[in-house]
A and B are shown apart, each in its own frame.
Chain A
Amino acid sequence: MPYRLSPLAAVLFTVLLAPCAQALQAGESAPALGGVEAGRVVYVDFWASWCVPCRKSMPALEALYRKHGAAGFAVVGVNKDVNEDDSRRFLQRVPVTFTLVKDADDGLARSFGVKAMPSGYLVDRRGIVRRVHRGFTDATAAELDEEIQSLLREPR
């Protein structure tokens, strides 16, 4: 009697899939971020002190911010450390000047559907996610540089 099994299957499916947040894709609107001037190209980076590639991504993002900040580029670093001292120690070793925010309740990470650390979302001037970077290598930094320049050329 398959019609009897279908409600059970539906309940199981709902319960099992409910915690799986949908990952934000390129082309979708980025969730609202406080502290960023409207009309800027923004790179939202989820990082933590325990994330090994973040040791590479943070100085690279700082360099990109210094290079393109005046032209309308901003970086928002969302810290995912449980212990605040860990992030403080990390930032002493790798100082950055871009905006840093905390996400203690995981609200931002959930709304972006972060699937890896670090994850970066390049958002254009209209607030649309144009590129998602998961992980970080030297190649990512070079790609990002080109993508930022291209987005900065787009009209407001």
Chain B
Amino acid sequence: MIRALALAVLSLAVSACAPVAPYQRGHLARPDMAFEDSPGAAKALEKVFVAKEAASGSSSVGGSGCGCN
């Protein structure tokens, strides 16, 4: 029984998940929490990529295969 308790408490304690309260969402908006270092540069690279690949629509960044917009 004690082992089961210890296991349950331990499994919860080592969990990497932490609830983020609505008022703590500013932490998620920090620049170091972003997937990209520079959103502007990422958007430019994405634009070149979709223009070269003629593969517009695969991401959320707008643009067509002609590379004209």
Binding site for B on A (CB under 8 A): 4, 7-8, 11-12, 15-16, 19, 21, 46, 48, 50, 80-83, 86, 103, 106, 109, 114-117, 119
Contacts and interface: CB of A to CB of B under 8 A. Distances in A.
A101 to B, nearest CB: 13
A89 to B, nearest CB: 13
29 contacts: A4-B1, A7-B1, A8-B1, A8-B4, A11-B5, A11-B8, A12-B8, A12-B12, A15-B9, A16-B12, A19-B19, A21-B21, A48-B25, A50-B29, A80-B26, A82-B27, A83-B30, A86-B26, A103-B23, A106-B21, A106-B23, A106-B24, A109-B21, A109-B23, A114-B21, A116-B22, A117-B22, A117-B23, A117-B25
A50 B8 contact: no
Contacts of A48: 23, 25-26
Q: Which of B8, B21, B30 has the most CB of A within 10 A?
A: B21
Contact of A80 (B5, B8, B9, B23): B23
User: For this complex, into which size category does the number of interface residues on chain B fall?
Assistant: 10 to 19
- Looking at chain A's contact residues, is the secondary structure mostly helix, strand, loop, or mixed? loop
Interface of B: 1, 4-5, 8-9, 12, 19, 21-27, 29-30
- Top 5 closest A-B pairs, CB basis? A82-B26, A109-B23, A80-B23, A50-B29, A114-B23
A86 B25 CA distance: 13
A82 B30 contact: yes
A46 B12 CA distance: 31
Contact of B8 (A8, A83, A114, A116): A8
A50 B26 contact: yes
Contacts of B21: 21, 106, 109, 114
B1 to A, nearest CB: 6
Contacts of B4: 8
Nearest to A112: B23
B12 A8 contact: no
B22 to A, nearest CB: 5
Nearest to A12: B8
A86 B30 CA distance: 11
